[in-house]
Amino acid sequence: MSHDFLPLNYEKIVHQITKFISEQVKSRKKNGVVIGLSGGLDSSVCLVLASKALGKNRIFGLIMPEKGQTPQKDIDNAHDLAHKLRIKYKEIHFERAKKILLSNLPNDKLSGGNLSARFRMALLYHYAGKSNLLVLGTSDKSELMIGYFTKFGDGGADILPLGGLYKSQVKILGKKLGLSEQIINQPSSPRFWKGHVAEKELGLTYYEIDTILRYYLDNDLASCNLSKKKKKLVTDMVRKSRHKRELIPVCNPP
C-alpha cells in the first residue's frame, strides 16, 4: 500500500467538506455555525470552507486571545481573515475570569492551559445556544489520533470538518484555498503558555507524526524508516489518549 498520502484531489476534498458542513447544518435544523478563530492554520482553513459552504451571513466567529500568551500576529491573522470573508465576529478576553478562578485553585501549568481551552469551548457553546448554531470544531486527524486536544475543551464540538485530514494535508489544503504564507507556515500551537509550540512539545514534526500514523493505520510500522524511538512516541500518544476518543463509560445496573 502506498504511503505517499499528500498528493490528493484537493478540489474534491473541498467539495466533500463544504457539502458535509452544509448538510450537517441543514439536517440538524441550525441557523449556521460558530467557530473559534485562533489565527492558526486549522481554524483558518475551517473558516474558509465554512464560508464556501454557508456564505458569510451564517457564520459567527469568536476570537478569544489570552493576554500574555496569545501573540499579536495570531489576533491580526484572525481579524484579517474575518474581514476578508466579511463574517460577523466578536473578540472576547477571558483572562481576568481565569485569573480569579486560578487564585483559588492549585497551581499547575498544564491544567491552567486546559482551563483556557475549556473557557473557549464554553463561550462557543454559549453563542451556539443563543443563536441556534453548530459549534464547528477545528481539530485535524493528526491531533485527534494522538490526543493533542483538550477533553471537553477544543475537543468539544458538534462537527469536525478536518477530522479526516492529517495536519500535513491541511497545510496543502490551506495553500489551495489561498491562505497567506504567514498563516500556512505559522507553527501550530494551542497557546497554553507563552512560547508554546506544538512540535517542540511533542518532540517530532507533524510530517513525521503523520507519516508514522499512516503506517500505523496500515498495520505496517515495520516499513516506516523513522526511528523506533519516534514510532514509539507516536504510538504511545495514540494509546494513552484513547479515552479522549471514546464515549464516556456508563454503568448499566441490571
**Helix 72-85 × helix 41-54 angle, to 10°:** 10
C-alpha cell at 195: 512560547
What's the number of domains the chain is made of?
2
For residues 183 and 225, state if they share a domain.
no
pLDDT at residue 3 greater than cutoff 70: no
For residues 179 and 214, state if they share a domain.
no
> Which helix H or strand E contains 63, and what residues bound it?
strand 59-63
For residues 58 and 108, state if they share a domain.
yes
Q: Are 46 and 136 in contact (CB under 8 A)?
A: yes
pLDDT digits (tens, 9 = 90+) for 118-155: 999 999 999 999 999 999 999 999 999 999 999 999 99
For residues 148 and 169, state if they share a domain.
yes
| The pLDDT value given to residue 86 | 98
- Report residue 17's pLDDT band, with 50, 70 and 90 as the boundaries: very high
**1-17 mean pLDDT:** 83
Structural domain includes residue 111: yes
Eight-class DSSP state of 159? B
pLDDT digits (tens, 9 = 90+) for 244-254: 999 999 999 98
Q: What is the CATH number of the domain that holds 174?
A: 3.40.50.620
Domain limits for position 113 = 10-194
Structural domain includes residue 3: no
- Report residue 6's pLDDT band, with 50, 70 and 90 as the boundaries: confident
For residues 54 and 180, state if they share a domain.
yes
Structural domain includes residue 248: no
For residues 186 and 126, state if they share a domain.
yes
For residues 159 and 188, state if they share a domain.
yes
For residues 136 and 169, state if they share a domain.
yes
For residues 80 and 162, state if they share a domain.
yes
For residues 49 and 142, state if they share a domain.
yes
Structural domain includes residue 249: no
For residues 146 and 97, state if they share a domain.
yes
- Report residue 7's pLDDT band, with 50, 70 and 90 as the boundaries: confident
For residues 167 and 50, state if they share a domain.
yes
| The pLDDT value given to residue 1 | 38
- Cα 218 from Cα 251, distance rounded (Å): 34
C-alpha cell at 225: 524508516
Q: Are 226 and 3 in contact (CB under 8 A)?
A: no
